[in-house]
Amino acid sequence: MVLLSLIATHSDVDLETVARLSAGASQVSSSLLETGSAVSGSVVLATCNRFEVYCEAKSEADIEAARSAVVAEIARHSGLAKDLVSRSFTTNTGESVAKHLFAVGAGLDSAVVGEREIAGQVRRALIEAQEKGTASGGLTRLFQTASRTAKDVGALTALGKRGLSIVSVALELATDLSVDTDWRNKEVVVFGTGAYAGATMALLKERGCANISVYSSSDRAESFTASRGGTPLTRDSLPAVLAAADVVIGCSGSDSQVSAADIRRVRAQSTQPLIIIDLALTHDFEPAVREVDGVDLITLESVRLAAPAEQAESLKQASGIVADAAKAFSEQQLSRQMDSAIVALRRHTLNVLDSELEKVRAQHGCTGAADEVEFAMRRMVKQLLHVPTVRARELAASGQQDDYIKGLEALFGITPDRPVQRHRPAAPEHGHPGHGDLASDEAESA
């Protein structure tokens, strides 16, 4: 089992490129496994400012082939050239895979440092992959550990205690731009019915905003407002409400954008200022709307620049938790890889013992002496295996598991079986541990 990830985030790639890479993101994991590539599992994490693909390759030798397969699938679904896709991604392997994901889940890599929305997106990414059958055992453990680490950061540090998020910072910017800062007096229109739209509705209500209308190009506004409140809009009723709105918030990521000409047309008779907040990665509004008289535009880039920095001590503490969790996870995974080597050595040795015992039985028959010989020989084999088993664990912890496996092949001609990958639902985080696989059981008994 070898984990790798391809990362494109707001830190290294402009948001427009991230949006273009994300096109067809929901299909990438399934198509990767369908093509029979070197990838044995995949989870995609796509948010408003990042597109990340986590994979499990079959072996170290398959890492480059797995990366090439991911690049090819993203290029196919996004319509971008392979070389552009390849240049846009940073590739992580080994402990770096866990360290990055754990930092992401804890909000340390967000535009708003310490924001908590990303933890939910990490959980949903795993759930979606499990539903599609693309989450391998290694990836399931990786994402579950990321969620636990995010909880530890939230519980053990002051990071994120202020409840900041991309939406909350955007609303604060809108407040600063408003003549009337009281949200109870504002007419707000929300585009979209997804997770960000839900978070936006909740924060608007916290600020006392009661006049909220919701528009969805996919006609889900009515069901959305039925559970969250607000007034659903249709394509026909939208223009009149936009004409009277004080704030419009886009978080739908629809294929069709509202143009500057559209805004000019519906606002032709309005003299009041309009604030447009565009939180959609693919933009619900053309950037040119900022050129319309009386219109202010707040974008994800505006939020990133305005987001306050968390206290240095909280960041240091949170980063330490993430680093320790990543190291522990990596050591655990390396140890799991050694299970098959330990089992291979055990089986090889016991097969030799069985062969020798068969010779004893053939010569002496089923006598008491033969039973004593068998007991002594089995005890001897266990003693012989004790040190190699301990050394296997020690070498795995120091990242030298390949040396151990090569030694088995060189000395005994033993080639360990690859660990069996199981696609199964995530176990409850606080439930009882499972029984484990054959490799783990036999390795422990050694």
- Tokens of residue 397, six digits: 């912890």
Number of CB atoms found within 10 A of residue 395's CB: 20
Pairing of strands 187-191, 211-215: parallel
Instruction: Quickly list H helices, 245-311.
Output: 260-266, 300-306
Pairing of strands 90-93, 187-191: unpaired
How many angstroms separate the CA atoms of 77 and 71, rounded? 10
Residues annotated in a binding site for substrate:
47-50, 110, 115-117, 121
Q: Distance between terminal CA atoms of the chain?
A: 22
- Tokens of residue 242, six digits: 């936009």
Cβ proximity of 55 and 70 under 8 Å:
yes
How many angstroms separate the CA atoms of 103 and 324, rounded? 11
48 counts as catalytic: yes
Number of CB atoms found within 10 A of residue 10's CB: 19
Cβ proximity of 370 and 361 under 8 Å:
yes
Element containing residue 275 per DSSP (H, E): strand 274-278
Residues annotated in a binding site:
47-50, 110, 115-117, 121, 192-197
Pairing of strands 90-93, 2-9: antiparallel
What is the identity of the amino acid at 18? V
Three-state SS for 190-237 is EECCCHHHHHHHHHHHHCCCCEEEEECCCCCHHHHHHHHCCEEECCCC
Nearest Cα to Cα of residue 6 among 61, 85, 114: 85
How many angstroms separate the CA atoms of 159 and 106, rounded? 9
Active-site annotation holder among 48, 55, 209, 251: 48
Q: How many CA atoms lie within 13 A of 28 on its CB side?
A: 31
Q: How many CA atoms lie within 13 A of 387 on its CB side?
A: 3
How many angstroms separate the CA atoms of 331 and 334, rounded? 5
Cβ proximity of 291 and 147 under 8 Å:
no
Please state the separation of Cα 380 from the chain's center in Å.
48
Residues annotated in a binding site for NADP(+):
192-197
Element containing residue 43 per DSSP (H, E): strand 39-47
- Tokens of residue 119, six digits: 């933890």
How many angstroms separate the CA atoms of 66 and 276, rounded? 42
Question: Which residues belong to the active site?
Answer: 48
